[in-house]
Every structure is written in C-alpha cells, then in structure tokens.
Chain A
Amino acid sequence: MFLIDCPYCKESRDQNEFSPAGEAFIARPQNPEELSDDEWADYVFYRTNHKGDHWEQWVHTNGCRKFFLVKRSTISHEILEVAAFGEVTSENKS
C-alpha cells in the first residue's frame, strides 16, 4: 500500500508496481573462496532486521525495471528518502 517515488521515473507510483529487494549496502565479499562457512552464511543469509530507519533496495518491476535505494521507517512505513545507486553509499548514508 506504499506510494514510492521512483528516482528514475520521477513519479510517485503504487507499491504493486515495485518489488522489495532486501537490505541495502551489503557488499559481496572480495574473496569468497577464502571465507569460512560462517562468514559466507553471514553474507548470504543474515540481515540486521533493524527497527527504525532502514536503507533497503527496491526494484521498479512493472516500470523502468531499475533497482534503487529507499530509506524507510520500519515502524511507521514512512519513506524518508529515495536515491539511485551511487547517490548514497554505505559511507555517506544518513
């Protein structure tokens, strides 16, 4: 039931055009073959499940089909910020 502003289409569209794509800023390990099973599991499966403002990825499935970043409050579901990849990174995110 969300209204999401796609940063590429520059339009507010209904949630059913989009699909969620998990927590943002999870970088793929540089040398996967050197990782222990625990470290690999951590990358593949474990997420912070954060309560509060949360950066996540969405994809405009039935629109431009591009992935982008959304900062959403997991309490009120308010969307606080949307950004294209690169505009916000794990270093400069608010």
Chain B
Amino acid sequence: MRLKNHKSDYIDQSEALSFIFNNRSYKGYKGDTLASALIANDVLFFARSFKYGRKRGLMGSGVEEPNALVSLEIGGRYTPNLKATEVMLYDGLSAVSSSNPNSLDFRALIKPLHRFMPAGFYYKTFIKQKVWAMVEDSLRALSGFSKAPTEKDEDLYDHIFHHAEVLIVGGGVAGITAALEILNNSKTTRVILVDERAHLGGELFNEFKSDDTAISWHHDSVNKLLEFKNVANSRLKLLSRSTAYAWYDHNYIEVLQTNATGESMVSGNTQVARKVLHKIRTKEVILATGAHERPMLFETNDLANIMLSQSVRRYLNEFGVISGKDVILYGNNDSIYGTAIDIKDNEINCKVIDVRASGSESEIVLKAKKLGIEVLQGYAVLKAHGTNLVKGIEISKVEMQGKKWKLSGSSKKLNCDLLASSGGFNPVVHLDCHCGAKTFFDEDSQAFLPQKERKNRQVCGSISAIGFWKDAVIDAKK
C-alpha cells in the first residue's frame, strides 16, 4: 500500500503513470520502480520457485533482488529477465513475471511428496531414465527465467570509449566525497562517477528524517558535483543508472548504462540509445560500492513478505510504500532499529526481535524503546507460518553457550504480515575480485572485505564495513 501524507523527493505524485503487470492494469507515479509501484497496488507475488512452484515475493529493493524477474514489453521491444526492482516505471509499461505466480501450477500438487524428492530431483530423475531430450524443454520452462526473444530488437544501442585518471564506482556518500575530494585537490584529474540508481546518494536518504545534517550535506555535495559537471570541458562525468559489471586487465572497465527509464526510445523521428556501453580505461579505480544486506535464516523463510530490513526501509522512505500493516523486524545488528523507527513514524505497528541479549544497548536501541516500540532481546525466529504469505512466526529465547546458540524456554507465536530481517552486511567486493584480488574474513565486521593493498585501486565507505555515513565521509577523504 502507499502511505498517505508521505513526502518523498523521489516520487512525483502529480504525475500518475498507468502500466500493466501480468495482464492487469495498475497505476503508479513517476519515480517509482516497477516493484515499488506494485507494492503500492498490493501485488505481493512475483514468481514461483523451481521445484515446488512456491509463490515468491520481493526480498530486496535493488540489484540484490533474487525473485522478481520480469520480462518487459513484447515483439521487437521484448526484454527478458529484468529485475522488477531495477525497472523504472514509465507510462504504458507492460511487464510479465518470468514464472507466473498466478497461473495454476502442477508443482504445488507434488509438494506433499517432498520427502521423496532430494535436491536436484528433476534433473537426476529424468537423466537416469534417458528421457531428458523429451522433457528438457518443459523443465527449462519451469526454471523461472523468461523466454528468449524471438524477434529482431527494434531499439538502438551505443558504445563509447572514455579515458580518465580516476573511476569511482558507487555514488553513495563515500563515492560523492571521494569525487569532490579529488576534483578539489587537482586541476587536471578527470573523474568518472558511476552509480546504479537514478539519484546520487545511495542509502543516505534513509537518514534524512532523523538527521538534518544528512539533508544539507547531500544537498551541498550534489550541488558541488553538478558545478564541476556543468562547465565547459568538464573533468567530471556522471553516469547514473549504470552498472560497472566487468574489470579487465590494466584497469579497463566496462559500464552498462540504461537510459532514465529503460524505456524504448524509438518514437517519431528521433531515436535515442536505450542502453550505452561505456568502455573506460583509467589509471586509478576507487571502489565505493557499498554493502548488501544478508537475511537471517530460519525455517520457511522463503514465504512472500519476508524481506530485507534495509529494503523495507528504502521502499518506505524513498517510495512511500510498504507491503504490510503489522511488521516484525528481526536481526542481529542495530540497523533494524533504524527501520523500526521509520515504520513507527508512519504509524504502522512494529516489533523488534533482536538475537542479541539485552545490556550495553546503543543509542538507537534506546531511542526505539523510548518511542514505544516493543523490543524482544535475546530471541530468535525459529519458523515462519503461512501458506504463501507470511502470517506469523514462532520465536524462542536463545543464548550463546560457549560457541553455540542454545534455545531456552518454550517457543511462542507472534502474528505479522511482514517480516524484515537483517543478518549483517556483505561488502560488495565482486568487482574487485574480477581481476585477481582476494578477500579476507574480518572478525570484527563478520564479513569478507576486499584485500587491503592493491595497485591502482582504493576502497572507501561500507565496502570496508563502515556503517555510519559520517564515518564514510571521513574514510573517503583519506
């Protein structure tokens, strides 16, 4: 549902857009992604799982989304396997789930037989009986990916070469700071700043409500960047809606940019490239790619409306949408309290379940308690209930004994219609690893971090497990 009275800089409520998803028509606003517009319309199922055809909902809000694969448009503009979380809404958009969650599915019937179906059941069974050639097509169709296009692509695509001294990957707090720092301290250095989203700032907007300095910092910094950009012979190139997806030898990096909406641009006499491949050769690479949240693990955690905490927060703050009215946050770190406070601010019920025992709480935990949010500390979620959608959870008190978690006391049930979890953050080290760099496990942050020293490469921000945005600014200034 979409919250009334919610203000967001990114959603333009004056411009309603209509679109079609799985043959039904809906309305969204300019600035929505397909996923956020569907949450606003209470569409919660996006796909089916491979083996039993279980219905799947959204889990993330960006590139980390594993379920919501869709295909866009038809005919010569058909594009398979896009993430609903990355498709920007435009008027007249039509999309179909890659594996339709609404059609009848025979796999749901065999679910009671799961005891007899080990991992890899379909492949193993049919390969043994030498009927693979007969069933392959139908099994592939179940796999959850869109069909390959059959018609010639009507759109235009382009590629451009760039040469720069510095390439910064990631336009969040750390990336913006690093770009400004370099541009200010040199008169000749050319900088390219690449960011995945439509707006610079990464996750910072989540702090806007509670922290006025975050708003002014963001405003000032983006304006300063634009000053560098909007001059003749600018040394700064900003590539938004762009993904740096490959790093080759000698700092040759490829970036794929999708135009503002991803919309097909063949209309009338003008034709604009829908996607542009930027081939960048650079002297130095700065990785400010940030971190992805990881989920907490428990039984049946694949039900729809079990999401990542930071994604729920982003849907709420950036788009003003949420997919439940009775929310439980579950996690092992402080970030869930930030989400809880934002949810509570919008007068939606929420509880927090924290695996960590009480004692030595940080400021934000105390703040959440003060706001009247019910906080259960030292509890773990054992199981989620519900057939397709989560309806409730089973929790139990847990404590650490030696190096193992032990349950204590009996379990109890809680009702909820949205569970958001956070099991910590994984730095986005993928790009760094393309060209032979290694990661190492850091005990403090419980995450794999990029190797410390590497020629012509630096890292800053939450890729090196820095959580707080002001720390990321300081880190990037080095």
Residues of A within 8 A of B (CB): 1-3, 75-79
Closest 6 CB pairs of A and B: A1-B248, A77-B249, A3-B250, A1-B249, A1-B252, A2-B250
Q: Do B248 and A76 have beta carbons less than 8 Å apart?
A: no
Q: Do A2 and B436 have beta carbons less than 8 Å apart?
A: no
Chain B 257-312 interface residues, beta-carbon cutoff 8 Å to A: 281
Q: Do A76 and B436 have beta carbons less than 8 Å apart?
A: yes
- Select from chain B the residue with minimum beta-carbon distance to A79: B250
**Which residues of chain A are within 8 angstroms of B249 by Cβ–Cβ distance?**
1-2, 77
Chain B 234-265 interface residues, beta-carbon cutoff 8 Å to A: 248-250, 252
User: Once bound together, how far apart are the Cα atoms of A3 and B253, in whole Å?
Assistant: 13
Q: Report if B478 contacts A (CB, 8 A).
A: no
Chain B binding surface SS class: loop
Q: Do B436 and A75 have beta carbons less than 8 Å apart?
A: yes
User: Once bound together, how far apart are the Cα atoms of A62 and B401, in whole Å?
Assistant: 68
User: Once bound together, how far apart are the Cα atoms of A76 and B454, in whole Å?
Assistant: 11
**Which residues of chain A are within 8 angstroms of B248 by Cβ–Cβ distance?**
1
**Which residues of chain B are within 8 angstroms of A79 by Cβ–Cβ distance?**
250
Q: Do A1 and B436 have beta carbons less than 8 Å apart?
A: no
**Which residues of chain A are within 8 angstroms of B252 by Cβ–Cβ distance?**
1, 3
Q: Do A78 and B281 have beta carbons less than 8 Å apart?
A: no
- Select from chain A the residue with minimum beta-carbon distance to B436: A76
**Which residues of chain B are within 8 angstroms of A1 by Cβ–Cβ distance?**
248-250, 252
- How many whole Å from A54's CB to the nearest CB in chain B? 15
Chain B 436-464 interface residues, beta-carbon cutoff 8 Å to A: 436, 455
Given contacts A1-B249, A75-B436, list 5 more A-B pairs with CB under 8 A. A2-B250, A3-B252, A3-B281, A78-B250, A78-B455
User: Once bound together, how far apart are the Cα atoms of A75 and B250, in whole Å?
Assistant: 13
- Select from chain A the residue with minimum beta-carbon distance to B253: A1
**Which residues of chain B are within 8 angstroms of A77 by Cβ–Cβ distance?**
249-250
- How many whole Å from B285's CB to the nearest CB in chain A? 14
- Select from chain B the residue with minimum beta-carbon distance to A75: B436
**Which residues of chain B are within 8 angstroms of A76 by Cβ–Cβ distance?**
436
- Select from chain A the residue with minimum beta-carbon distance to B250: A3
User: Once bound together, how far apart are the Cα atoms of A75 and B435, in whole Å?
Assistant: 10
User: Once bound together, how far apart are the Cα atoms of A77 and B434, in whole Å?
Assistant: 13
**Which residues of chain B are within 8 angstroms of A2 by Cβ–Cβ distance?**
249-250
- Select from chain A the residue with minimum beta-carbon distance to B456: A78
- How many whole Å from A11's CB to the nearest CB in chain B? 13
- Select from chain A the residue with minimum beta-carbon distance to B254: A1
User: Once bound together, how far apart are the Cα atoms of A75 and B249, in whole Å?
Assistant: 11
- How many whole Å from B244's CB to the nearest CB in chain A? 15
- How many whole Å from A88's CB to the nearest CB in chain B? 21
- Select from chain A the residue with minimum beta-carbon distance to B437: A76
- Select from chain B the residue with minimum beta-carbon distance to A1: B248
User: Once bound together, how far apart are the Cα atoms of A46 and B390, in whole Å?
Assistant: 65
User: Once bound together, how far apart are the Cα atoms of A76 and B438, in whole Å?
Assistant: 12
**Which residues of chain A are within 8 angstroms of B250 by Cβ–Cβ distance?**
1-3, 77-79
- Select from chain B the residue with minimum beta-carbon distance to A3: B250
User: Once bound together, how far apart are the Cα atoms of A87 and B252, in whole Å?
Assistant: 30
User: Once bound together, how far apart are the Cα atoms of A60 and B118, in whole Å?
Assistant: 57
User: Once bound together, how far apart are the Cα atoms of A77 and B249, in whole Å?
Assistant: 7
User: Once bound together, how far apart are the Cα atoms of A94 and B468, in whole Å?
Assistant: 48
- How many whole Å from A74's CB to the nearest CB in chain B? 11
- How many whole Å from B436's CB to the nearest CB in chain A? 6
**Which residues of chain B are within 8 angstroms of A3 by Cβ–Cβ distance?**
250, 252, 281
- How many whole Å from A78's CB to the nearest CB in chain B? 7
User: Once bound together, how far apart are the Cα atoms of A1 and B250, in whole Å?
Assistant: 7
16 A–B contact pairs at CB < 8 A?
A1-B248, A1-B249, A1-B250, A1-B252, A2-B249, A2-B250, A3-B250, A3-B252, A3-B281, A75-B436, A76-B436, A77-B249, A77-B250, A78-B250, A78-B455, A79-B250
User: Once bound together, how far apart are the Cα atoms of A79 and B250, in whole Å?
Assistant: 9
User: Once bound together, how far apart are the Cα atoms of A2 and B251, in whole Å?
Assistant: 9
- How many whole Å from A4's CB to the nearest CB in chain B? 9
- How many whole Å from A55's CB to the nearest CB in chain B? 18
**Which residues of chain A are within 8 angstroms of B436 by Cβ–Cβ distance?**
75-76
- How many whole Å from A72's CB to the nearest CB in chain B? 10
User: Once bound together, how far apart are the Cα atoms of A78 and B435, in whole Å?
Assistant: 11
Chain B 107-146 interface residues, beta-carbon cutoff 8 Å to A: none
- How many whole Å from A20's CB to the nearest CB in chain B? 14
- Select from chain A the residue with minimum beta-carbon distance to B281: A3
